Structure 1
Amino acid sequence: MTRLSDLITDVLAILRAGEHDTSWSSYDSTADAIEELERLQPRVEAGEREAVERFRFLCLPTGAIEEIAVSSGWSGRWLELVNGKYRDTLSPQ
């Protein structure tokens, strides 16, 4: 699950760079999104199925992370990550 963890690291770097519009996501704030991803990351690294499924759910089209990306102006970067660098990472194994 290292690739998924790497994707979490990349998303966290983007989120930590400043405040983002979370109004279309399930989060009340950027800090809430960061907090959940930080909690999920070690569990994803350990291969915990529930955490892996939760992270994949957050990354779905119209999922919380994509909604933040679109409403905050970094949808292009998000697409580069999920369609490029991590193309096969989010697919169910």
Structure 2
Amino acid sequence: MNPNKQVEIACNQLAADPKLKDGFNAIGFSQGSQFLRALVQRCGDQLSIKNLISLGGQHQGVYGIPHCGALKHKPCDYVRKLINHAAYTE
């Protein structure tokens, strides 16, 4: 399902839940962080989210390969170039 549609559905379900009418706290991990951020940004007028805790979310993007030193190791640079070539194409 399209993520925009998922956010819309979740927003409607959370807004309709009487247990959440006085607000709630949200915790997201990894992709869940992005999803909850979308709820806050797009449904903030319908939901009362008191706090959003984001763990491991890629809000400003991700660079490189974990535990692969930048500009130090030729194999890391080679793999990084391959990923960049494949990841950033139309």
- Shorter-chain TM-score range: under 0.3
TM-score scaled to structure 1, two decimals?
0.27
Larger Rg: 2
Greater relative contact order: 1 or 2 (C-alpha under 8 angstroms, separation 6 or more)? 1
More helix, by proportion: 1
